[in-house]
Amino acid sequence: MAITQKTVSSDITANNWLFKASADTAVTSIHLCNITATAATVNIYLLPDDGSTAGPTENNKIYNTLSISATDSYIIDTEKLILSAGDKIFVETPDSSGSIVATISTIGL
């Protein structure tokens, strides 16, 4: 099992991904922790490595304007995501009023 952790940015670019699979990988959980006293809005994108787009677009969203209350956490662990080599997960806080630390737990297949 591997852990990836990063403070989320308020913008996303093609190279500003949170996690990139280097081989076939299962994402077991994603933890989003709001470390501020202000509510935060989060978008999560899943971008397949199929050449369809260089960076995430609205068509790649799996969570849209998820609100996380001040000093609260949100855990995604009900369904597992299976990623192929090169697939990427992007997380952004588009309103930038809160600060989110994202932690992704993965295991190789």
The model's pLDDT over 8-41, given as tens digits with 9 standing for 90+, comes to 988 888 788 999 999 999 999 999 999 999 999 9
For residue 1, count other CB atoms closer than 10 A to its CB.
Answer: 8
pLDDT in tens, 64-104: 999 999 999 999 999 999 999 999 999 999 876 889 999 99
For residue 14, count other CB atoms closer than 10 A to its CB.
Answer: 12
Q: Give the integer Cα–Cα distance in Å for 41 and 43.
A: 7
Residue 87's domain comprises 2-108
CATH code where residue 82 lies: 2.60.120.340
Q: Is pTM, for the whole model, over 0.85? A: yes
Number of domains in the chain: 1
